[in-house]
Amino acid sequence: MSYKDIKFSKEELARYDRHIIIPEFGYEAQQKLKAAKVLVVGSGGLGSPGLLYLAAAGVGTIGIVDFDVVDDSNLQRQVLFGVDEIGKPKVEAAHRRLSALNPHVNFVLYNEQLTSQNALDILKDYDVVADGTDNFPTRYLVNDASVLLGIPNVYASIFQFEGQVSVFNYKNEAGELGPNYRDLYPSPPPPGLVPSCAEGGVLGVLPGIIGSLQALEVIKIITGVGDTLSGRFFTFDALTFQTRTFNIKRNPANPINGINPTIKSLIDYEEFCGLKKPQEKPVKEITAKEFYDWQVKGEKFQLIDVREPHEYEIVNIGAELIPLASVLDQADKIDRDRKVVIHCKMGGRSAKAIRELEAKFGFDNLYNLKGGILSYIDEVKPELTKY
């Protein structure tokens, strides 16, 4: 349905009168707002004012993503919530407040964390996303998902007395695409180098100011009124009251949409931001093809399967079955005087078994079948049953 077909009730016309009478805005911009779908990621310090203004302004559909519950330390800045809502899911508390503010808005609630698994599915239904999250992994996730889907991303971020706002991945009327977060910050700071709000604090009114600017940019994108912050990066220092607007451009080396993009789907953002625990000790590996060569050449080795008996029944390659849980108890069945290949379904459990056996009994002759029995079936014996 075109926005031109959008109709308003008498109550809505009265409600939006102060918009409609602005010559540069008018009835048409209000129709565009009602036709629009905006996803707000994070309903905290930035999301609170943003959501209030977007709902008040008459955005037709507003999605809210937040997995958090209201905490008393939120109330200093998260103006959507009150004392009665402490302990309740933020999306529910936000919905209550916002639908009381504007019953003409359709709300879609996502009481869950945005992840690499669900982000594309959630974002794809929206025209604009507003990123008001509080951590680097989610920032990169929202950025990458919006770039992959071609959705403009209104970015806002705060720390102590300082705020940043920009519009990323925005295609202007001439079809020119603006920069995104990765043009500006190709990779995040290592954990601990930049202090967080949780340790550094934030002045409560700052997200009120910055989140309102974010809502403003969302409205400008939807209505086409004014010039958005695409290609510009706004900063505000509440202490000195200094505002600056920098020019930013696309970077040909951008890994997601530069000249030679290397990121073609969503990645593991915790790992990307260095928040994963150090990698576990690598184990010796053998590929399915190398393993097959051993078999063909008659190389001497023992083959052990650490899957469960019911999996073994579905398909097996003639290994001795020692399920992972009992592998340490049955270590005496594992040879020390020849190579031992250990496999499972995909290679995870067998690597774990090898680490445990090496750590506890000092084995040095264990090889993990890379990719497990599934790789073996794919590369060597496609006639076997996959499960």
Partner 1 sequence: MATVIIPTPLRKFTGNTSRLQIHATNVKETVAELTLNFPDLKKHLLDEQGNIRNFINIFVGNDDIRDLQKENTVVKDDSVVSIIPAIAGGNA
Looking at 106, 243, 245, 326, which residue binds partner 1 (CB under 8 A)? 245
What are the CB-based long-range contacts (under 8 Å, 24+) for 383-386? 384/315, 384/317, 385/314, 385/315, 386/315
Q: Which of these is catalytic: 56, 75, 108, 197?
A: 197
Does residue 273 have an active-site annotation? no
Tally Cβ neighbours within 10 Å of residue 310: 8
Percentage helix, strand, coil for the chain under 3-state DSSP, each rounded to 5: 40, 20, 45
| Complex with partner 1: residue 74 or 302, whichever CB lies closer | 74
CB 346 within 8 A of CB 352: no
User: What does DSSP assign to residue 338?
Assistant: S
| Complex with partner 1: residue 164 or 295, whichever CB lies closer | 164
User: Is residue 243 involved in binding partner 1 (CB under 8 A)?
Assistant: no
Looking at 13, 112, 150, 185, which residue binds partner 1 (CB under 8 A)? 185
| Complex with partner 1: residue 66 or 127, whichever CB lies closer | 66
Looking at 187, 243, 326, 330, which residue binds partner 1 (CB under 8 A)? 187
- Distance in Å, CB of 74 to partner 1, minimum: 10
CA-only gyration radius of the chain, Å: 27
Does residue 197 have an active-site annotation? yes
DSSP 223-262: H--S--SBTEEEEEETTTTEEEEEE----TT-TTTSSS--
- Distance in Å, CB of 386 to partner 1, minimum: 40
User: Is residue 174 involved in binding partner 1 (CB under 8 A)?
Assistant: no
Specify the length of the chain in residues: 387
For residues 132, 136, 141 and 143, what is the CA-based torsion angle, rounded to 10 degrees?
60
User: Is residue 197 involved in binding partner 1 (CB under 8 A)?
Assistant: yes
- Distance in Å, CB of 189 to partner 1, minimum: 4
Q: Give the amino acid at 77.
A: R
Q: Which of residues 144-163 bind partner 1 (CB under 8 A)?
A: 157-162
User: Is residue 72 involved in binding partner 1 (CB under 8 A)?
Assistant: no
Name the site residues for partner 1 (rule: CB under 8 A).
Answer: 44-46, 132-136, 139, 157-162, 164, 184-189, 193-198, 200, 202, 233, 235, 237, 239-240, 242, 244-249, 251
Give me the active site residues, please: 197, 344
